[in-house]
Structure 1
Amino acid sequence: MAVKAIRRLAGCAAAIGLTLTAGCAGAGTLGATANTVTIAMVSNSQMTDARELSSKFEEANPDIKLRFVTLSENQARAKITASTAMGGGEFDVVMISNYETPQWAENDWLVNLSENINETPGYDQNDFIPSLRQSLSYEGDMYSVPFYGESSFLMYRKDLLEQAGITLSRTPTWQQVADAAAKLNGPDMVGICLRGKPGWGEVLAPLDTVINTFGGRWFDENWNAQLTSPEVKRAVQFYVNTVREYGEPGAAASGFSECATQFSQGRAAMWYDATSAVSTVEDPASSTVVGKVGYAMAPMVEKPNSGWLYTWALGIPKSSDKKDAAWKFISWMTDKDYIKLVGEELGWARVPPGSRLSTYQIPQYQEASKAYARETLDSIEGADPLKPTVQPVPYTGIQFLAIPEFQDLGTRVSQQISAAIAGQKSVDEALEQSQQYAEVVGRTYQEQS
């Protein structure tokens, strides 16, 4: 990574920190004692389960107390980035992804976990799905470990499609999905739920896979911005039209959590999103559609295997002064035994999916996941962040660009897309503004070459 890029990321984080770390520090350290491990986590369902089960860890490790700071995805990204980049020390464990991990490892912000992994009996890093393990590594060493992994796929109500006489293959096209959404859309049931909420990890996650499979890209090989290219325009117009015509009410403010509620409560006929959504969709405690859902690979146009690759993982900031205790907690939460604990205590449908190969060999989980396990594994293993697009590109990453500027660039572009979904501007206007943002980033890389 270029030195200028590292400085830009650190500078951005510092600017964020001026407004956020005061609240963050209070949340993380208030009431903490010398043996308290403070964990910053995203407030997704699997993380809520981990918090519920954390008393088991404290019982086994009476010398360690746990303190959780749970935040929405956008808040978590901002606060964790600010704290880690500035060496604030508020957090001993941070939940990050395969976007941050290699970059932060290169910046020397994270502890190299390879020694801890090798010295922990039975931890078995080779049991992690290879594509995830590689995505969380830098120069051959792991700097965070996966809690759960995901790609993306299409979830659909088998009963509703059958009633409507609609058949979808395991590898549908986006046009087939849009046609089905049109037939299934009605006053009490939307045809499809698609994210529209601003955030590079919200609306851009599914939208980027659509752009990729339509033949679009963010930059060409020479870092010339391509957000007004015919391929990108066609993809974004398709996405915006589909969600505006057949999508959920208030789509411009709907992210993963909102769509999970819509689909699980029987108010959407289809949903394209993360494979990890099965923990909600197939959980009788939170879903009314258990057993009624079919699963298909990410819809495609030109590029097959168009699903994303993502993992929520746990790392230790260099600034933590409780690194040993932090690793004890991380190794507990990402171990094979934790998978079994979730299944036995909370139900096998709530097991964190897509992280360990051995999960798919557990008989109880095989039974619980038979409707979606194959699609999940095929999607994760088929995703190729090194070749994310039809045409060649100078970056890696599928639903994000693995460059430090993408946190800001992606957020700005996502705001433009959300505005188009809300009907506040046209797709052309949104992409013209997005192109200007991308050109600024592209020029910095052109200057370095």
Structure 2
Amino acid sequence: MTMITRRGALLGGAGMLAAPALVSQVDAQGAFNWRRFAGERIEVSLTANPRSQILIQNQREFEELTGIRVGSEAIPEQQHRQKFVIEFASGRPSFDVIGISLHVNKRQVGRARWTADLKPMIADASLTSPDFDFADFGAGAVAYSTQADGRMDTLPEFTDYFILYYNKEIFARAGVQVPTTYDEMYETARRLTDARAGQAGFVGRGVRNANVVLYTSFLLGTQQRDCTDANQRLLTDTPDAIAAGEFYKKIMRDCAPQGVAGFNWNEAQTSFSQGRAAMWLDGVGFAAPLEDPTRSRVAGKVGYAVVPRGAARHHCALFGTGLGISAGSNERKRGAAWLYLQWALNKRNQLRFLTAGAGAPARQSPYRDEEAIRTSRFGRDYFETLIASSRIAHPGLPEIVPVTEFRDTLGTALTNTIGGADVATELRRATEAFRPILEQSERAT
């Protein structure tokens, strides 16, 4: 259930009450005109999640402020991806604003130029409110919303960083410190693993497809860092790629629970939330259920830390979503849609995301809101971890079109290594199997 705090409710109510007066004041002063597209209607297509729920619940604020009517839909993730790809490909999308999972569809959308470049709109003072504060968006999130050719075709909405969850009670009992390097993490996990007591030192994703993002977290710590090079050539059988695979195999075989080869995030979450694992490396979105005492035995005992440093680099895996404007919408609808993006991702709504436990907003200012931190069910280390993670974030998946096929192919190899298969052999086999798929996708127009 989405939680809206008293502060969030007051902010939302104040916004709705103040909107007409604000408009009159702005117009009277000849300053920014929020009502220049009054009477227009735009369609907004979002993925069903708590953030979309917050936007839809509060969109009356935008309508009162601008005089623009909004038709919104929120569709389950897989169905939403299929829908917008089909509609864009038809040349007649039914929406003006679209929510996009950047770790899945960024290159596909960018290469087809389905969404408009937002940079000219940001630079246009007649279209962009003075309080938009683009500099408030995290650098990693902005880079993620920017295509290789420099076009910024989405505005960052949500950033999903991989962080380290740890059980403070287990750590205190053993007298160990939070690891700062991957080697330290392995040694700590080995020390905290007690098979007889049913306690694993570490838990993570082991099942095919889902496990790739844990593997790439380890690869991010190498000199290579990425799964592809600047020319989209596959780099999953190099010495660094193999070394990351060896670490993945080692920590999953030596320190994780029995049956981890079948674990997705939900099984890993269950293991950690029931106190059966000392550490878990995964996305920030799991903090809320871990701190829910009706669902978690470790509520109040969870520590949050930035992912450890690798041998050569220090990055955390970045995933995220952005809001884009359909390039096929007419000029007036594009203008109205840009006003919607400014409202949807303003500081108030981004703070609502954070205080509702709806995920990590792309802006920096919510994490510095002292009232939000003081009244939050999450500890201060959670907010500090998110801020620090934003500074070292790097995409956790290659920016390619066949992302799902990549995760299936490489993920099979990784799952096999948990069973004892040779890492180098498995990664070379997976690389050879996927390379022609990637090359074909790059040749396609």
Q: CA deviation at 1:260?
A: 3.6
Aligned residue number for residue 96 of structure 1: 101
Name which of 133, 154, 157 aligns with 2:164.
154
Aligned residue number for residue 241 of structure 2: 232
CA distance in 2, matches of 1:85, 1:157: 47
Aligned residue number for residue 402 of structure 1: 399
Structure 1 counterpart of 2:136, which letter? D
Aligned residue number for residue 372 of structure 1: 382
Structure 1 counterpart of 2:98, which letter? V
Pair 439,57 (structure 1): closer, same or farther in 2 beyond 3 Å? closer
Name which of 411, 418, 435 aligns with 2:431.
435
- SS of 1:308's equivalent in the other structure is strand
Unaligned 5+ residue runs, structure 1? Answer: 1-33, 386-397
Aligned residue number for residue 25 of structure 1: none
Is 2:75 the partner of 1:69? Answer: yes
Pair 66,140 (structure 1): closer, same or farther in 2 beyond 3 Å? same
Structure 1 contact 64–325 (Cα < 8 Å) conserved: no
Name which of 330, 333, 343 aligns with 2:344.
333
Pair 197,319 (structure 1): closer, same or farther in 2 beyond 3 Å? farther
Q: CA deviation at 1:100?
A: 4.0
Aligned residue number for residue 206 of structure 1: 214
CA distance in 1, matches of 2:347, 2:431: 45
- SS of 2:317's equivalent in the other structure is coil
Structure 1 contact 339–359 (Cα < 8 Å) conserved: yes
In the TM superposition, 1:305-316 aligns within 5 A as 305-316=314-325
Pair 275,111 (structure 1): closer, same or farther in 2 beyond 3 Å? same
CA distance in 2, matches of 1:188, 1:87: 56
- SS of 1:174's equivalent in the other structure is helix
Is 2:298 the partner of 1:289? Answer: yes
Pair 84,437 (structure 1): closer, same or farther in 2 beyond 3 Å? farther
CA distance in 2, matches of 1:254, 1:329: 39
Q: CA deviation at 1:336?
A: 0.8
TM-score under structure 1 length normalisation: 0.71
Pair 278,308 (structure 1): closer, same or farther in 2 beyond 3 Å? same
Q: CA deviation at 1:36?
A: 7.6
Unaligned 5+ residue runs, structure 2? Answer: 1-39
- SS of 1:409's equivalent in the other structure is helix
Structure 1 counterpart of 2:324, which letter? G
Q: Which moved more, 1:220-229 or 1:117-126?
A: 220-229
Aligned residue number for residue 173 of structure 1: 182
Structure 2 counterpart of 1:409, which letter? F
Deviations 1:222-261 (A, max 9, x none): 9875534444333213313422443356534433444344
TM-score under structure 2 length normalisation: 0.72
Aligned residue number for residue 357 of structure 1: 364
Aligned residue number for residue 33 of structure 2: none
Aligned residue number for residue 55 of structure 1: 57
Structure 1 contact 166–180 (Cα < 8 Å) conserved: no
Structure 1 counterpart of 2:388, which letter? D
Q: CA deviation at 1:133?
A: 1.4
CA distance in 1, matches of 2:60, 2:266: 29
Identical residues among aligned pairs (%): 22
Pair 112,305 (structure 1): closer, same or farther in 2 beyond 3 Å? same
Structure 2 contact 160–318 (Cα < 8 Å) conserved: yes
Structure 2 contact 353–360 (Cα < 8 Å) conserved: no
Is 2:116 the partner of 1:111? Answer: yes
- SS of 1:193's equivalent in the other structure is coil
Structure 1 counterpart of 2:406, which letter? L
Q: Which moved more, 1:325-334 or 1:155-164?
A: 325-334
Q: Which has the greater radius of gyration?
A: 2
- SS of 2:214's equivalent in the other structure is helix
- SS of 2:157's equivalent in the other structure is strand
